[in-house]
Structure 1
Amino acid sequence: MSAIVLGTATAGTAHAALGFDVSVGAGVWSQQPSGYVHYSTGGQASSDVNLKNDLGLSSKSQGYAWVDIQHPIPVLPDVEIRYSRINTSGSQVLSRTITYGGQTYNANQQVNSQVKLTQTDFLFYYQPINNVVQLRLGLDVKAMSLSADISSGNQYSSASGTAAVPMLYAGLRANLPFTGLSAAADGSYIGNGSDYFADYQARLAYETPIGLGLQAGYRVMELRVGNSRIDPNGDIKFKGAFAGVFYQF
């Protein structure tokens, strides 16, 4: 154990000597789905299929991870990479007739559904203020894959798509000196009229003198896209509390 601690401390000292500041973390996000999806195909319009009332999707906890690298070269942005995954399913007896992906599912018919969203965020940011208060401004390139499937008996509707979405990014963090405590909030956004994509969170953290820390907070992610943009589309929101651990080298 002492060898492991010594090795970690040595790595941290080496990073500090080179002017690098590296942190890694992972945790669990409790995701509560809401909103609706639609998928039109073959000239047949789609219903606004409600994720909870029609499909019976429920809350689910999934993992997330991140690594943040800050360096001493002023002209180049610092980089943070975040990964999170949503994979939730449901089974529900419909209270109304819906149309999705060219298929009509009738009232009192049982349907099974699954929604998946995998995303990796590449954050490129500068820190014009970096002391007790830290301000981050930059770009979030969100690589995402979304699918929303419905089935019942021999009926099956599947919609999926991938995209790389550039988003404006901003973050603010305040440290309470000599305590290891900090509070932070950040978010990414891109919008055009009624269509937008937003992903933001607020969190509290405590870091021990050896660099190991805990964080907890709340995250909201919402994608609202009109019928003609991508499939599947609609107004999809996932929100909920998260908690995790991190290590600052």
Structure 2
Amino acid sequence: MTIRHPLAVIGVCALGLGSMGAAHAALGFNVSLGAGIWSQQPSGFVHYTTNGQQSSDVNLKNDLGLGSKSQGYAWIDIQHPIPVLPDVEIRYSRIDTSGSNVLSRTISYGGQTYTANQQVSSQLKLTQTDFIFYYQPLNNIVQLRLGLDVKALSLSADIKSGNQSSSASGTAAVPMLYAGLRANLPLTGLSAAIDGSYIGDGANYFADYQARIAYETAIGLGLQAGYRQMELKVGNSKIDPNGDIKFKGVFAGIFYHF
């Protein structure tokens, strides 16, 4: 499953919802949308076995030289007055980082062998759009969210050196359990929240969670800042690329609530 131009979709939704904010409030809709920057620090390893040639566990930092990078994210949250239907939040984020390094050891990846002291360049991309469907069994000063996060993602991990190259990519739609908790400080505009999504069996799992604080003005404009960590661990050689990939770091953004 591949989601094309989700930022454009969110932008169109934002324009339409912004022009009808008063009408939505009258109908019982509660809408928030925002965007910001996430400082991503990569760690872990990736491997890609092909044609029966076993891949090395290629370290993202030590072997490939991938470093931290800041990139954008966007989201829109729509709550409606129909009790039997879940509320919906859509989140979009993108990881696109590259590096260059002289190998200190010989590695195998995608049917190619790269020897020690060889210069390699690499690129790792992970694009994801989360469709979160949730209910709020508790919705007062403290808000509890429980539901399902369908994460549509596209992953690629490429290595090149001279005439050698190895390229692996894949797409998937991953259903994950979702839970979130938020607390508001009355009369201050301040709030704190934590939420996360998870699927796995211990040995293989996908986890994505964040904690944040926010300040919202009387006109609905606000700021948020927090910390996000995402980890994908897949040891099944039938799924390529796979490995244990982690991205973590602080984020900050702006939002509007109407």
Q: Would you call these one fold, judging by a TM-score over 0.5?
A: yes
Q: TM-score, normalised by structure 2?
A: 0.92
The corresponding residue for 1:192 is 201
The corresponding residue for 1:30 is 39
SS at match of 2:124: strand
Tell whether the 8 Å contact from 1:38 to 1:227 is kept in structure 2 after alignment: no
**For residue 157 of structure 1, what is the amino acid of its counterpart?**
S
Superposed displacement of residue 229, structure 1: 4.0
Matches within 5 A, 1:199-218: 199-218=208-227
Tell whether the 8 Å contact from 1:28 to 1:242 is kept in structure 2 after alignment: yes
The corresponding residue for 2:8 is none
Tell whether the 8 Å contact from 1:176 to 1:182 is kept in structure 2 after alignment: yes
SS at match of 1:178: coil
The corresponding residue for 1:227 is 236
Tell whether the 8 Å contact from 2:49 to 2:237 is kept in structure 1 after alignment: no
The corresponding residue for 1:3 is none
Runs of 4+ in 1 over 4 A off after TM superposition: none
Superposed displacement of residue 10, structure 1: 7.9
Tell whether the 8 Å contact from 1:86 to 1:115 is kept in structure 2 after alignment: yes
Q: 1:91 to 1:153 in 2, by over 3 A?
A: same
SS at match of 1:194: coil
Q: Output one character per residue of 1:34-64: Cα deviation in whole Å (capped at 9) or x when no partner.
A: 0000000010000000000000000000000
Overall identity of the aligned pairs, in %: 84
Q: Choose the corresponding residue for 1:160, options 152, 158, 169.
A: 169
Q: Choose the corresponding residue for 1:150, options 159, 165, 176.
A: 159
1:39 aligned to 2:43? no
Q: Choose the corresponding residue for 2:178, options 161, 164, 169.
A: 169
Q: Output one character per residue of 1:201-221: Cα deviation in whole Å (capped at 9) or x when no partner.
A: 000000000000000000000
Structure 1 window deviating more from structure 2 (152-161 vs 227-236): it is 227-236
Distance in 1 (alpha carbons) for counterparts of 2:238 and 2:135: 32
- In structure 1, runs of 5+ residues without a counterpart are 1-7
Distance in 2 (alpha carbons) for counterparts of 1:58 and 1:150: 15
The corresponding residue for 2:63 is 54
Q: TM-score, normalised by structure 1?
A: 0.95
Q: 1:10 to 1:87 in 2, by over 3 A?
A: closer
**For residue 26 of structure 1, what is the amino acid of its counterpart?**
A
Distance in 2 (alpha carbons) for counterparts of 1:25 and 1:74: 25
SS at match of 2:71: strand
Superposed displacement of residue 192, structure 1: 1.7
Q: Choose the corresponding residue for 1:123, options 108, 111, 132.
A: 132
Superposed displacement of residue 12, structure 1: 3.0
Q: 1:9 to 1:168 in 2, by over 3 A?
A: closer
Q: Choose the corresponding residue for 1:91, options 89, 100, 105.
A: 100
The corresponding residue for 1:4 is none
Distance in 1 (alpha carbons) for counterparts of 2:157 and 2:201: 23
SS at match of 1:17: helix
**For residue 34 of structure 1, what is the amino acid of its counterpart?**
S
SS at match of 2:26: helix
Q: Choose the corresponding residue for 1:179, options 180, 188, 201.
A: 188
**For residue 248 of structure 2, what is the amino acid of its counterpart?**
K
The corresponding residue for 1:74 is 83
The corresponding residue for 1:5 is none
Matched residues, number? 242
